[in-house]
């Protein structure tokens, strides 16, 4: 039961990494220091004051950087692999002592998968916002993403089961939107190809 609860916390925090990479590790560090979260022995360093300071500085830089026009789009190009890595590490750090193969497999599939899916969706959303508003709407989007990461991180630690249910809804919505986006892209390509063929 304890392992399952730890995995639920890990998935919730990993999904939050999809919105902002450093907010969940910062939340974990704070929760660990106050005794609200037990980290796997190999990741006990995340619950130290030096780690807390490092995560706090990185979080501030990341949040501010997303308010700088075009820098936010540049960050999105590297954020997906980083979010997957962060989500994997976050989940692995919460799984109690177990077989390393099982630990990292669960961490990569559940944690990395959740973080990567949500990050991919936010990246597409920012690109659409940039194209439609010339970047003017990106500030609002950045605020929503940062807020989502903070709220989801808090829920994951306080009420992990609720957080996992919320993540499940988010993933279903995200995957359906990504599927719709790919279908639209395919239709446009087919239409463009058809018009070229008609010209010949």
Contact 116, 87 (CB under 8 A): yes
- From the number of C-beta atoms within 10 Å of its C-beta (0-12, 13-18, 19+), residue 118 rates as buried
Q: Which residue has the tokens 């997957």?
A: 84
5-26 per-position pLDDT tens digit:
888 999 999 999 999 999 999 9
Instruction: Please say if the pLDDT value at position 197 is more than 80.
Output: no
Instruction: Please say if the pLDDT value at position 199 is more than 70.
Output: no
Mean pLDDT, all residues of the chain: 88
49-87 per-position pLDDT tens digit:
999 999 999 999 999 999 988 888 788 888 889 999 999
3-state SS of 138-174 is HHHHHHHHHHHHHHHHHHHHHCHHHHHHHHHHHHHHH
86-100 per-position pLDDT tens digit:
999 999 999 877 788
């Amino acid at each position: 039961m304890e392992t399952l609860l730890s995995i639920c916390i890990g998935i919730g925090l990993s999904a939050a990494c999809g919105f902002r990479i450093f907010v969940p590790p910062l939340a974990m560090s704070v929760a660990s220091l106050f005794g609200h979260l037990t980290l796997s022995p190999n990741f006990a360093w995340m619950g130290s004051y030096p780690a807390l300071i490092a995560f706090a500085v990185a979080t501030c830089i990341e949040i501010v950087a997303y308010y700088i026009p075009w820098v936010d789009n540049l960050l999105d190009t590297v954020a997906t692999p980083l979010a997957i890595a962060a989500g994997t590490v976050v989940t692995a750090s919460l799984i109690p002592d177990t077989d390393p193969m099982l630990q990292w497999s669960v961490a990569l599939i559940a944690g990395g998968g959740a973080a990567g899916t949500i990050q991919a969706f936010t990246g597409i959303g920012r690109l659409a916002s940039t194209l439609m508003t010339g970047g003017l709407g990106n500030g609002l989007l950045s605020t929503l993403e940062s807020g989502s990461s903070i709220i989801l991180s808090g829920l994951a630690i306080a009420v992990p089961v609720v957080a996992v249910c919320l993540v499940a809804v988010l993933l279903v919505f995200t995957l359906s939107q990504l599927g719709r986006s790919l279908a639209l892209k395919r239709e446009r390509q087919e239409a463009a190809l058809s018009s070229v063929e008609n010209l010949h």
